[in-house]
């Protein structure tokens, strides 16, 4: 099995467990709605900023090579 299959299987299992807890009127998360909203908002902001930083900077080996080619062709401002 590849990593994607394992992750999808774990997510499915968690979702099914969550549904059974809801059916039996158990709170699957020990948070109230306001705390959950703040946590999700913070996670979204963190993920979006990390993706934006990674995509807009030359942090990988391939990205550094691309930057060198752009600089040699005078296609960058710096």
pLDDT surpassing 90 at residue 23: no
pLDDT surpassing 70 at residue 56: no
Between CA 8 and CA 63 the distance in angstroms is 30
* In contact, 46 and 40? CB cutoff 8 Å: no
Question: Looking at residue 42, what is its pLDDT?
Answer: 93
The predicted-structure confidence for 24-55, as pLDDT tens digits, reads as follows 888 767 777 788 889 889 999 999 998 888 77
For the chain, how far is it from start to end, CA to CA, in angstroms?
Answer: 45
* In contact, 67 and 58? CB cutoff 8 Å: yes
The structure tokens listed for 40 are 């999700």
Task: Look up the pTM and report it.
Answer: 0.47
Between CA 51 and CA 42 the distance in angstroms is 14
| Domain spans of the chain, in order of start | 1-30, 32-78
């Amino acid at each position: 099995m590849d990593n994607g299959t394992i992750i999808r299987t774990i997510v499915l299992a968690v979702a099914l467990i969550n549904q059974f807890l809801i059916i039996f009127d158990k709170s699957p998360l020990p948070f109230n709605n306001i705390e959950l909203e703040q946590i999700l908002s913070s996670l979204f902001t963190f993920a979006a900023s990390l993706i934006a930083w990674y995509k807009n900077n030359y942090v990988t080996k391939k990205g550094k090579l691309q930057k060198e080619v752009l600089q040699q062709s005078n296609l960058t401002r710096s």
